[in-house]
Amino acid sequence: MEAIRIVQYFALRTYASSFNWQQADDSNFNKDRVYNHYYQNFFVGATREWNGQQYAFAPFRAEGTMSSLGGDNPLVQVLFPNVEVAIRFVEQGNGNRLSRLTLSTVWLNAALNQIKAYEERYVGVGASFSDTTIELRFRSAMDSVGAQFPARKLSRSNVGILPLSADISLR
């Protein structure tokens, strides 16, 4: 049986508290108010390229429920040791509020070739500190549709001609 290795790529975009959301679009960011951070947690002391971006090494781990059948948008934590780089995430990003995280999980074989890759997107909801750990908290960027979502009726205008009885013939 072949050993499988897992590397995670952490791409975080943080926004300063003075960032103007009303004037923001992807083509015209105020560069002094937006910060991008790229880290991976497998290749110790090395910088690796992933999706055209260079990722430096940082010791971190992601934990929590990534998704659920009920769609209740659970909390995901990314834990860093209490080091200067992680403190910078929180300071530059207004306490990790409304930051954008793309967390890519890549499975590697023994030769370090990619087997599978999964990408998830999250929105920052806060952070906390301890003597040894910095915790960045996130929720899924996609929320599930709940019972309060407006229902639609099936009609000819949105699905075409409807059968008038239960007798349906598939050809």
Which residue in this structure is represented by tokens 């699905």? 159
Angle ∠(128,130,134) on CA atoms, nearest 5: 55
- Give yes or no for a contact between 55 and 48, defined as CB atoms under 8 angstroms apart: yes
Query: Which strands make up the sheet holding 48-50, listed edge to edge?
Result: 48-50, 53-57, 34-40, 5-15, 97-108, 114-129, 133-140, 75-81, 61-64
Look at residue 75 in the predicted model and tell me its pLDDT. 84
Look at residue 50 in the predicted model and tell me its pLDDT. 92
Look at residue 21 in the predicted model and tell me its pLDDT. 47
Among candidate residues 7, 3, 5, 2, the one with its CA nearest the CA of residue 106: 7
> What is the pTM (predicted TM-score) of this model?
0.71
CA distance 44 to 112: 14
Among candidate residues 103, 56, 48, 51, the one with its CA nearest the CA of residue 78: 103
Look at residue 34 in the predicted model and tell me its pLDDT. 82
Look at residue 103 in the predicted model and tell me its pLDDT. 92
- Positions of the chain with pLDDT lower than 50, given as ranges: 21-22, 28-29
Look at residue 32 in the predicted model and tell me its pLDDT. 58
Would strands 97-108 and 114-129 be described as parallel, antiparallel, or unpaired?
A: antiparallel
First to last CA, the chain: 47
Look at residue 14 in the predicted model and tell me its pLDDT. 87
Look at residue 87 in the predicted model and tell me its pLDDT. 83
Look at residue 22 in the predicted model and tell me its pLDDT. 47
- The secondary structure of residue 92, as a DSSP letter, is H
42: left (phi over 0), alpha (psi -120 to 50) or beta: alpha
- The secondary structure of residue 21, as a DSSP letter, is G
